[in-house]
Amino acid sequence: MNADMLLQLDIRNVALIDEISMELGEGLNVLTGETGAGKSIIIDSINAVLGYRVSREIIRTGAEKALIEAVFQVDAERVRDILSDMGMEPEEDGTLILSREISQSGKNTCRINGKMVSATFMKAIGERLIDIHGQHDNQSLLKTEYHIELLDSFAGGSLRAAKEEYTELLGQYRSVKARIRALSGDPGERERKMDLLRFQVDEIRKARLKTSEDEDLNKQKMLLVNAEKISGTMASVYDLLSAGSGGSSALDAMNESLAQLSSIAALDESYGEIYSRLQDLVYQLEDIAGDVRQSFESIEYDPALLDEIEERLDLIYRLKRKYGNSIPEIHRFCEEAEKQLEELEKSEETAKALAEELAELEKQLYHAALRLNEERVKAASLLESKIAQQLTDLEMKNARFKVDIQFDADAAGDSGRRFGSNGLDRVEFLISPNVGEPLKPLARIASGGEMSRIMLAVKTILAEVDKIPVLIFDEIDTGISGRASQKVGEKLSYISRSHQVLCVTHQAQIACMADHNYLIEKIVEKEKTRTRVTSLGDDDKIKEIARLLGGETTEASLKYAEEMIKTAKKSRTA
């Protein structure tokens, strides 16, 4: 079952299509119909919604604009990195809607999940989702950089282990090289950096900062600035409590109350309790009054001390602006600066040790790259033989397929070897379709039919490791026999077990293998020609297969079509 797939394709006002909506299924989806019915228009529309160049001439005559919309079910991780570049997140249910509007004014509007994006961005998403093989130019297999990834995936576990070892060594190698570059910069610049670090360390150390010192100083400053106010307030409070300026104080009043209560305290227990409680309050108030007096007598405004505190706080403020928002951050800055200074002071010694480490890592990395190359060469030989067999099945027995592996063993000047993420190999798939023709890159194959069959052969072998979920084959049966067409159908069916496949064909042998069949027709209504798409049920599928077999539908052709479909069904479930 395909986890990722194209669920629905809606096309409006494109060429002969006024409006169609296709719901596509898992597995093999086959589109058939008479020549000129509009099958190529559907493929062109898919290309357009994938962000590829499109002319406004595709807009249906009389319409102002065309609209194409494709709804995908996608694993979020497949496109998360690209979407994040646009500030977008994948939908929770995995729905991804690509839409493109082309207007007569020449304006093109591309949207992903309703958000407007550029055609370039749409194309980047599309390349992760659909591979089209036919007369179009967006086949992933035409991109050389993709070949090494496919070969490695085909090679399997032994190469994966070698690559893990290589990747770990490459990380260490790049880290050491980065440290060497940092140490081997301009000597004058290094000296200037050391001078700056020494100054910074010296400035912080001389300050002798203590944790939370700034908080303590601010409290002292607050008291000194408000010394006069504090002294006056305390003196006034003391007068009110004890001194009795201009009249009786609070203590005088309480002592008088105590004296009067003493005359009745013995008469009743409750009076005695009140007397006792008041006496406690008098003692407490006398203590408080004493503390207040001691406080205002000890307060002294010291302008010199205030100046010292402000100077110290100003120093701390300046250090904070340079080195951190708090004293602990300043200390951490100082520790890091000391560490950098120590490294720079020992740079010559360190650089020598790093150079020796780099030389040893380069040896290990080179041997790891050699092992990668050996594994790839073994895998390439097996892949070539398997694809050769596939090409023979597809009536290309004289074709030669070659996995060209170039190992870059030479050091590139002073910078050393160019170790990449895949080692020192450059991998490219080459093909010679006919006897006497030299091997050439896939992109230089002239025949669209040959290209499609080569792609089918490669995809059949790499079906399990190819990560692009939707594959489209446009008229892959051009120029091949019925027997070869049967093989094509079998291979498409095999690929559709791990991918969703759409195929445009004229061959009954391919159409009968489909999980879902669609008939593309050109009809005339009200003196206007339009394209219609019909999803075929079992009976209509038999009729369409019969038509493909001979043009005219007869009882014999219907019976033969039915037998073909039964046989195809058995082979699909085998």
CATH at residue 482: 3.40.50.300
Residues 337 and 484 in one domain: no
Last residue of a domain, one of 366, 391, 426: 366
Same domain, 105 and 170: no
Residue 218 and residue 347 share a domain: yes
**Within-domain flag for 332:** yes
Q: Which residues of 10-21 are buried (b: 16+ CB within 10 A; e: fewer)?
A: bbbbbbbbbebe
**Same domain for 12 and 48:** yes
84, part of any domain: yes
3-state SS, residue 68: strand
Task: Confirm whether 93 is domain-assigned.
Answer: yes
Assigned domain for 461 exists: no
Residue-number span of the structural domain to which 522 is assigned:
5-134+468-573
d(CA 446, CA 424): 31
Tally of CA atoms within 13 A in the half-sphere of 74 that contains its CB:
28
Q: Give the pTM.
A: 0.61
Angle at 48 between CA 45 and CA 50, to 5 degrees: 115
Query: Do 289 and 338 share a domain, yes or no?
Result: yes
Structure tokens at 83: 């979407």
Residue 148 belongs to some domain of the structure: no
Are residues 175 and 127 located together in one domain of the fold?
A: no
Give dist(CA 243, CA 230) in Å, integer: 18
Q: Do residues 291 and 214 share a domain? A: yes
If asked whether residues 360 and 285 sit together in one domain, one would say: yes
* 419, amino acid identity: F
The two tokens of residue 126 are: 């599309």
Place of tokens 């400035």: 203
Q: Is residue 139 part of a domain?
A: no
pLDDT score of 137 = 47
**Domain termination residue (choose one: 338, 366, 394):** 366
> For residues 36 and 34, what is the distance between their CA atoms, to the nearest angstrom?
6
Q: Torsion over CA of 247, 248, 250 and 256, rounded to 10 degrees?
A: -170
Asked if 85 and 166 sit in the same domain, the reply is: no
pLDDT of residue 517: 93
Q: Is residue 15 part of a domain?
A: yes
Say whether both 118 and 242 belong to one domain: no
Q: Which residues contact 279 (CB under 8 A, 6 or more apart)?
A: 258
The last residue of one of the domains, among 366, 386, 410, is 366
420 φ/ψ angles, rounded to the nearest 5 degrees: -100, 180
Q: Are residues 165 and 44 in the same domain?
A: no
Tokens of 51: 């962000």
pLDDT at 541: 92
Quick check: is 337 in a domain? yes
Q: What is the pLDDT of residue 413?
A: 47
Q: With CA atoms as reference, report the closest residue to 529 among 36, 31, 22, 23.
A: 36
Q: How many domains does the chain have?
A: 2
Tokens of 120: 């370039």
Residues 192, 127 share a domain:
no
pLDDT digit of tens for each residue in the chain (574 aa)?
456 899 999 999 998 888 999 999 999 999 998 877 778 888 889 988 988 888 888 888 888 899 999 999 888 778 888 888 878 887 878 888 999 999 988 788 999 988 898 888 888 888 888 887 765 444 667 788 889 988 988 888 888 899 999 999 999 999 998 888 877 666 677 788 889 999 999 999 998 989 888 888 888 888 787 777 877 777 777 777 776 555 678 887 888 788 888 888 888 888 888 888 988 888 888 888 878 777 777 667 777 878 888 888 888 889 989 998 899 999 999 999 999 888 778 777 888 888 899 999 999 999 999 999 999 999 999 999 998 988 888 878 888 999 999 998 875 545 568 899 999 999 999 988 888 889 988 777 756 667 777 778 887 887 777 778 888 888 777 767 777 788 888 888 888 888 899 998 888 889 999 999 999 988 887 778 888 889 999 999 999 999 988 767 788 888 999 999 888 888 777 6
